[in-house]
Structure formats: C-alpha cells, structure tokens
C-alpha cells in the first residue's frame, strides 16, 4: 500500500496547483465514457465517493486537495474538506451551470463528454498546466493495494493511476496533454510504499486544517 508520507506529499503537491475540483468527475466520466457507461454515470456512485471519502472531520466526509480559488500555501488547507452534499454539486444540472466544466453536463439531465474534452479539460479544469500523474495516483490510490514483482517504485504508482482511470497506450496522447510523469528525487523522509497488512484500515487525517469552512 501507499505510505502516509506519499499521500501527504501528494496533498501538498496538488494543493499548490490551481485545479478545478470537478476534475475528479472528469476522470470518472471519461472512464465511464470509454467503457460505454456514460448514460449510467452518477455522482453518487461508490466509485466516485471512494475517491474522496476520508475519516477525520466531525461533519465533512469528503476530502480532496483540488481547489481553484484562494491562497495556496503548498500545505493542507481547510477548504480541502467537503460537505456531504458534494453529489448534488456534481449532478448533471449543477455541472451544466458551472463556469468552466459546464460542458460535462446537459441542460436536460445526464452527463456529456464532447469530442474535444481533452483540450477543454486542459484549459478549463487544469488552467493550461498539466498536473502530476504521480501526485494524483498517490492520492486517489491511497486505499488500494498493489501486487508487484520486484522493488516498488514511483513509476508503479503512475502505472496504477493509468490503470485505474483507463489511460492505456492508445490514450498516450491524452495522457501526455493532461499529465506530467515526473518523479521527484528520492526523499529520505518517506518511502512511496508500506508493506500491506490484512488489518490495514484508513487512518483519520488528523491535522491542523480541520477548520469548518
């Protein structure tokens, strides 16, 4: 499993970049579209909610370090915690009214993914700057197990991100447009992986950013 240090690094890395929160739904909708399931997509699906659920806050069950407003400090912020009505915020009608990612929703209900969604995502959700696939992998795969041969590396996390969100070789052009695959120099303060133990459960994110905002 990924180490707590790796997840912390990802939170700091993502939190330092301007990112539209609805990029979470873009990842999900794109995957559903590639599988031919876009018509059945739902912001209340377990697949979406498992990406953002985090124990540790008394009233807000969701946490993801993607924000497009406010001051970025490169460290956890109270605004990373999200209230339980996030499904309503990501419903088709709500997304349709968004400035920026409105092209993912239809006025009459349902989700959409136009043919030029990659360029739209780059401009409207990533604000013309690619995002670290390693950081997204560390965060969104934080509760996943890895079965690997040999010594695990950061490249395995990038591979896991590509597998989870359906970026195989035939989607390389998309991947290269939206993400960087850079791996930072080794940091002696943490390792990317911890050994898996059967009783491993997610730990609450007990930090100073628990403010109710």
Per residue in 130-152, pLDDT tens? 999 999 999 999 988 888 778 88
Predicted pLDDT of residue 208: 45
Beta strands in 31-111 (DSSP E): 62-63, 81-82
Alpha carbons within 13 A on the beta-carbon side of 94 = 11
Query: SS3 string of 120-155?
Result: HHHHHHCCCCCEEHHHHHHHHCCCCCCCCCCCCCHH
What kind and span of H or E run contains 179? strand 179-180
pLDDT for res 199: 58
Angle between helices 4-15 and 133-140 (to 10 degrees): 130
Reduced to 3 states, what is the DSSP secondary structure of residue 2? strand
Give Cα separations from 20 to 64, 83, 95, 146 (angstroms).
11, 17, 12, 28
Q: How far is CA 75 from CA 7, 10, 11, 79, in A?
A: 12, 10, 7, 11
Phi, psi dihedral angles at 82 (to 5 degrees): -125, 145
Q: Which tokens belong to 103?
A: 């092209």
Q: What is the pLDDT of residue 202?
A: 53
Q: Which helix (H) or strand (E) covers residue 162, if one does?
A: helix 154-164
CA 160 to chain centre: 13
pLDDT attached to residue 83: 79
* 3-state SS assignment for residue 93: helix
Per-residue pLDDT at 172? 98
> Which pLDDT does position 99 carry in this prediction?
82
Over residues 178-209, the pLDDT tens digits come to 999 999 876 667 889 887 666 555 555 544 44
For residue 106, what pLDDT is reported? 92
- pTM, whole model, 2 decimals? 0.86
Q: In angstroms, what CA-CA distances link 201 with 3, 29, 122, 186, 207?
A: 12, 28, 35, 27, 18
Give the per-residue pLDDT at 201. Answer: 53
Q: Which residue stretches of the chain have pLDDT < 70?
A: 70-76, 186-188, 196-213
The structure tokens 């995002």 sit at 131
């Amino acid at each position: 499993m990924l180490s707590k240090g790796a997840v912390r690094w990802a939170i700091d890395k993502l939190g330092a970049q301007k990112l539209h929160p609805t990029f979470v739904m873009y990842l999900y909708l794109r995957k559903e579209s590639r599988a031919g399931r876009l018509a059945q997509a739902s912001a209340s699906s377990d697949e979406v909610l498992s990406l953002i659920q985090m124990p540790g806050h008394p009233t807000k069950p969701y946490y993801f370090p993607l924000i497009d407003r406010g001051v970025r400090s490169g460290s956890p912020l109270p605004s990373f915690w999200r209230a339980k009505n996030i499904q309503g915020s990501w419903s088709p009608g709500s997304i349709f009214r968004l400035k920026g990612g409105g092209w993912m929703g239809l006025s009459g209900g349902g989700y959409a993914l136009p043919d030029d969604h990659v360029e739209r995502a780059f401009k409207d959700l990533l604000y013309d700057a690619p995002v670290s696939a390693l950081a997204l992998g560390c965060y969104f795969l934080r509760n996943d197990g890895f079965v690997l041969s040999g010594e695990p590396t950061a490249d395995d996390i990038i591979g896991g991100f590509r597998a989870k969100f359906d970026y195989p070789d035939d989607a390389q052009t998309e991947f290269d447009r939206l993400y960087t695959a850079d791996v930072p120099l080794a940091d002696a303060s943490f390792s990317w992986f911890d050994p898996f133990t059967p009783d491993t459960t997610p730990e609450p994110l007990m930090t100073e950013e628990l403010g109710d905002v």
